Amino acid sequence: MENQLFVEMTLSGRLDNSTLVTITEKSRKPDKSDIRWLQGNTEGLANFLACLKAWLEYGINLRKGAFEFLTDK
């Protein structure tokens, strides 16, 4: 499979009762095409985290229906 990537997500509790999420993308070569691919992947992870925050804090599912265009209807 092309563009496989090991992504490690670590959640750490903070003293102010917040949570720090650290995401580490591993196993990619430091060349131009991989860096460009990782940039797009990172943008996707940022969107995912924003949606997760909305769901956890307010019960709003921002991803519902977001990918229906990918399925055959």
- The tens digit of pLDDT for each residue in 24-67 reads 877 777 778 777 877 877 888 888 899 989 999 999 998 887 77
| The pair of three-digit structure tokens given for residue 12, joined into one six-digit string | 């750490």
| The pair of three-digit structure tokens given for residue 57, joined into one six-digit string | 């804090």
pLDDT of residue 3: 60
Comparing 1 with 72, the larger pLDDT belongs to 72
Given the structure tokens 């519902």, which residue do they identify? 64
Adjacent-strand bridge partners of 10 = 22
State the pTM of this model.
0.64
60 vs 5, 9, 40, 49, CA distance in Å? Answer: 29, 22, 25, 13
